[in-house]
């Protein structure tokens, strides 16, 4: 258990504010291809599958890097790791402006993807400053840095029009480098790292940090995050292209509407953390999955033309989702995903207080891989089947499977480990602390 003796509210708020701001900037950089990728697609004549791979490639690096970044944060402190991660990413983002071929764009995208690793660094760093009873809310506020995707979707199109995509990448690189310097200068080492330096204690080994990953529970949390975070990243990157193709919008308008999805998918994560502290993360996850299923069911329905043989001859009519209705559904979906993201990470410092970096890194990696594989799957489905709503059909199936799996797993676990519970005991009657 960490020692918070001497930590003031000012220290806590400073750490939370700086890490959240840094994460916002990093997330904006991480999703930059959702906007500049549309222009690159036109310049290089890419297919939908190639575009999906380009958009998803930064997510791959951002996901895989979370494992070792999480371990390093536990060993060397978030202040140092966060700063180095941002500086390296800024260099990669600047170099992006000099790339010419599709293959090199993929290589450059791997470097830009390091921005996504900032999430687990911030989680491990922020959680060290707060007591258990306030960690859900604190991490929810930190996670609101996902709003960086909305910043990119809303602002980057105007930069691309005014400066071109190359200079847009350079602007992002400069801002990220400035953020790295400000963070290092104004932040403090977290309490655990300070205590280790005073006592001369050696950092915990990577093997010990990774030991909890053998628990099935950790992988269960990861599957939840595959949708609530991976799906969020995938849609934040994919929606601008969807609006351009499905509704014929200009890029600036498409980016603005995509930002309406990204905004609630980010800022309400703080609310999700508070709800998880108050009512339990499990209840929030059920609400997230059920409402998401309803939204995705409607969004999956393609525009369809019917011909019915009527009494006096054929009757033709169409069924489709208007743009305002679709945008409204994306806002609701983003809101629920923000609650779910907070709920997943509420579990980690509670069950694994000494392994937040490693466990959170794995959960974040699996979630991030959702953001890598899903855009590719969206592109493949578009090329293969040719229906714009394919992506939402895929997400519907993913959420349906996750919901059933979660419910069945919890019920079986409760009955196996706590046989004294009545057979008809409802999940909401079982204390949150008793669910492994």
Nearest CA among 418, 368, 374, 362 for reference residue 399: 374
Q: Which residues contact 57 (CB under 8 A, 6 or more apart)?
A: 33, 106, 109, 110, 113, 372
* 3-class secondary-structure state, position 350: helix
Q: How far apart are CA 291 and CA 188, in angstroms?
A: 40
Angle at 69 between CA 64 and CA 71, to 5 degrees: 110
pLDDT tens per residue across all 436 residues of the chain: 455 667 788 888 899 999 999 999 998 998 888 788 878 888 888 887 788 788 778 878 888 888 788 878 877 888 999 999 999 999 999 988 888 888 888 888 888 989 988 988 998 888 888 877 777 788 888 888 878 877 887 888 889 888 888 899 999 999 999 999 999 999 988 887 777 767 666 655 556 656 666 677 777 788 888 999 889 888 887 888 889 888 888 878 888 888 888 777 767 877 888 888 788 778 899 999 999 999 999 998 887 777 788 777 788 877 778 899 999 999 999 999 989 988 887 777 777 776 666 677 778 778 878 878 888 888 888 888 888 888 899 999 999 988 998 888 778 877 776 555 444 434 433 444 444 3
0.75 cut: is pTM over it?
Answer: no
Domain ranges of the chain: 9-192+204-303+316-434
**Residue 136 tokens, joined:** 């859900």
- Choices 3.30.365.10, 3.90.1150.10, 2.60.40.10, 1.20.1250.20: CATH for 9-192+204-303+316-434: 1.20.1250.20
Q: Are 13 and 137 in contact (CB under 8 A)?
A: no
């Amino acid at each position: 258990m960490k020692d918070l003796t001497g930590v003031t509210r000012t220290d806590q708020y400073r750490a939370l504010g700086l890490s959240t701001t840094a994460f916002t900037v990093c997330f904006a950089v991480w999703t930059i291809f959702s906007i500049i990728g549309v222009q690159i697609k036109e310049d290089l004549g890419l297919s939908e599958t190639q575009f999906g791979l380009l958009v998803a490639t930064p997510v791959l690096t951002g996901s895989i890097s979370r494992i070792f970044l999480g371990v390093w944060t536990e060993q060397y402190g978030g202040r140092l790791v966060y700063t180095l991660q941002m500086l390296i990413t800024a260099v990669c983002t600047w170099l992006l402006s000099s790339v010419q071929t599709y293959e090199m764009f993929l290589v450059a995208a791997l470097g830009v993807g390091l921005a996504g690793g900032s999430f687990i660094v911030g989680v491990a760093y922020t959680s060290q400053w707060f007591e258990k009873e306030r960690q859900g809310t604190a991490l929810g506020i930190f996670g609101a840095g996902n709003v960086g995707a909305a910043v990119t979707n809303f602002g980057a199109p105007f930069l691309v029009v005014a400066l071109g995509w190359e200079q847009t990448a350079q602007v992002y690189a400069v801002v990220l480098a400035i953020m790295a310097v400000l963070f290092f200068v104004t932040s403090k080492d977290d309490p655990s790292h300070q205590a280790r330096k005073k006592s001369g204690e050696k950092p915990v080994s990577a093997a010990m940090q990774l030991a909890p990953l053998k628990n099935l529970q950790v992988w269960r949390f990861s599957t939840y995050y595959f949708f609530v975070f991976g799906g969020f990243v995938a849609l934040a990157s994919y929606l601008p292209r969807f609006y351009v193709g499905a509704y014929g919008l200009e890029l600036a308008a498409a980016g603005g509407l995509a930002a309406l999805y990204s905004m609630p998918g980010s800022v309400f994560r703080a609310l999700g953390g508070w709800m998880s502290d108050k009512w339990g993360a499990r209840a929030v996850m059920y609400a997230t999955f059920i409402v998401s299923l309803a939204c995705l069911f409607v969004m999956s329905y393609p525009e369809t033309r019917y011909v019915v043989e009527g009494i006096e001859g054929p009757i033709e009519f169409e069924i489709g989702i208007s743009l305002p209705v679709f945008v409204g559904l994306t806002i609701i979906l983003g809101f629920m995903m923000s609650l779910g993201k907070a709920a997943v990470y509420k579990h980690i410092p509670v069950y694994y207080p000494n392994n937040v970096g490693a466990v959170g890194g794995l959960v974040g990696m699996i979630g991030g891989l959702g953001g890598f594989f899903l855009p590719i799957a969206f592109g493949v489905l578009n090329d293969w089947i040719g229906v714009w709503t394919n992506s939402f059909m895929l997400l519907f199936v993913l959420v349906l499977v996750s919901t059933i799996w979660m419910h069945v797993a919890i019920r079986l676990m409760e009955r196996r480990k706590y046989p004294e519970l009545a057979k008809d005991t409802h999940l909401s009657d079982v204390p949150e602390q008793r669910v492994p």
